[in-house]
Amino acid sequence: MAIHQDHELHTRRWSRNLGVGLTLAAFIALVFGLTVVKVQNGSLMQGADHTYRSEIDPANQMPVAEPEQ
Amino acid sequence: MSDIQADIAGQTTTGEAGFGDYVQLLKPRVMSLVVFTGLVGLLVAPVSLHPIEALAAVIFIALGAGGSGALNMWWDADIDRVMSRTQKRPIPAGKVTEGEALAIGVALSGISVVMLGLATNWLAAGLLAFTIFFYAVVYSMWLKRSTPQNIVIGGASGAFPPMVGWAAAMGSVSIEAALMFMVIFMWTPPHFWALALFMKGDYHDAQVPMLTVTHGRRTTRTHILVYTVALVPFALAAAFTSIGGPIYLAVALVLNLLFLIGAWRIWRRAEPAAEADKYHVERRFFRLSLIYLFGHFAAFLIEATAPAGALAAAIGWGF
């Protein structure tokens, strides 16, 4: 027989804490999974990596030709 | 020592909900219907999402439904205390405070809309936001207590999930999404009016102007028949779109025939006869209405599978 018996209040608190904790963990797992899928499905992306690359320099972009009048 | 015990006893009455009480606040039975119809809308769309994106979309649609359910319970706490059907809900039962319900409702609504937008697209997120607004504000705060047409117009909020699912996959809406919407929209009034016929005193006690209270039970029976007849063309028309097919048509023909017969029986009945058999026909019609909706959406789902497509091709079915 247990020496200490939890009050019903503590049982409810425990269920609430566990439920909220598991919900948050599931949310994090879902956002992580979504991020992986988005990155895998995304088109080629180039971020700044502190090295000059002429292909992403706006100055080297071809100007859009104006239609002739 | 007695002071401590008194303090604990005081705390148990409010603000110490178990996790299950929070789940009840989100109306899990309504959520299950939303999950099912939203999932069908998503799966029958010709463009398929990555399974993780589809899972996220369904979870956030469900969370949005749960958030609006919590807002509804927060707003309706006063009448929930009066109606026997709703007295055991978390707020009237004293398990969750009204402030908590409001906070959970607002938070879940916001999270669900933003996350659905990030996971799929902003049209789907906008439709979900409109659905939550429609259910929490237009239906719960405005229509429910002001007009006997509350169920008719408010039914739109329950009809949006398949359209949100479709928009999540496609990034647009089309005739198929509109027909799925219309099937639920036109199904909602007969479903709830049948419930109102046999949950006799509840709406009257809570002074909610259901049609049974404002226009009487004879008029309600007529309305059930009229809306059921108006529902049939939408349910059958869906068979001749890209989400329908021969299996769906067969299921829809049987279910609509049964639903029409049920509505006809309700219309023909006089009140003393209904009271004598404790609303047997009305209760059976209510149960049939659940099967009706599930059957139609399950048939949509079957039509989206490869064997159903092969069957349609074999008999030359093409729309």
Same domain, B276 and B169: no
Predicted ipTM beyond 0.85: no
Does B207 share its domain with B127?
A: no
As a whole number, mean pLDDT of residues B103-115 equals: 97
Both B229 and B152 in a single domain? no
| Residues B47 and B34 grouped into a single domain | yes
pLDDT digits (tens, 9 = 90+) for B56-73: 999 999 999 999 999 999
Domain-embedded: residue A19: yes
- Asked, for residue B207, whether it belongs to a domain, the answer is yes
Range in B37-51, B52-66, B80-94, B158-172 the model is least confident about: B80-94
Q: What is the dihedral of CA B255, B257, B263, B268, to 10 degrees?
A: -150
Is residue A50 one of the residues assigned to a domain?
yes
Q: Mean pLDDT across the stretch B33-44?
A: 95
Please choose, from the candidates B305, B177, B299, the residue with its C-alpha nearest in 3D space to the C-alpha of residue B239. Answer: B299
In chain A, the number of structural domains is: 1
Last residue of a domain, one of B122, B151, B173: B173
Interface mutation target, options A37, A39, A40, A41, chain B, most CBs of B under 10 Å: A37
Domain of residue B188: give its range. Answer: 178-319
DSSP summary character for residue B239: G
Is B2 among the domain residues? no
Domain CATH for B101: 1.10.357.140
Q: Which of residues 30 through 69 in chain A touch B, CB cutoff 8 A?
A: 30-31, 33-34, 36-37, 41
pLDDT at A27 over 90: yes
B204 and B160 assigned to the same domain = no
Categorize the per-residue pLDDT at A44 as very low, low, confident or very high, splitting at 50, 70 and 90.
low
Mean pLDDT of B116-145: 94
Write down which residue in B157, B173, B189 finishes a domain.
Answer: B173
The secondary structure of residue B143, as a DSSP letter, is I
Q: Based on the domain organization, do B76 and B105 belong to the same domain?
A: yes
Residue whose C-alpha is closest to residue B245's, from B184, B186, B315: B315
* Domains in chain B, number: 2
Domain boundary among B129, B150, B173: B173
Give ∠ CA B83-B84-B88 in degrees, rounded to 5: 100
10 Å Cβ neighbour count for B25? 27
Compute the count of residue pairs across chains A and B with CB atoms less than 8 Å apart: 44
- Say if A22 falls within a structural domain: yes
CB contact under 8 A, B19 and A7: no
CB B113 within 8 A of CB B125: yes
- Name which residue leads in pLDDT, B207 or A21: A21
What is the average pLDDT value for chain A, to the nearest integer? Answer: 79
pLDDT over 90 (residue B25): yes
A27: in domain: yes
Regarding whether B140 and B58 lie in a shared domain, the answer is yes
A10 touches chain B (CB under 8 A): no
Whether the predicted pLDDT of B5 surpasses 50: no
Q: Does one domain contain both B22 and B73?
A: yes
Q: Shortest Cα distance from B53 to chain A (angstroms)?
A: 6
Structural domain containing residue A47: 8-56
Q: In whole angstroms, what is the distance from residue B154 CA to residue B136 CA?
A: 10
Polymer length of chain A: 69
CB–CB contact A12 B8 (8 Å)? no
- Distance from the Cα of B302 to chain A's closest Cα (Å) equals 27
Structure tokens at B137: 């504000």
Task: Please say if the pLDDT value at position A69 is more than 70.
Answer: no
Q: Which of B296, B152, B299 is nearest to B232 (CA)?
A: B296
Answer whether residue B111 is part of any domain. yes
Of the two residues B164 and B319, the one the predictor is more confident about is: B164
Most confident of A37-41, B154-158, B261-265, B305-309: B261-265
Residue B84 lies inside a defined structural domain of this protein: yes
Q: Domain check: are B150 and B299 in the same one?
A: no
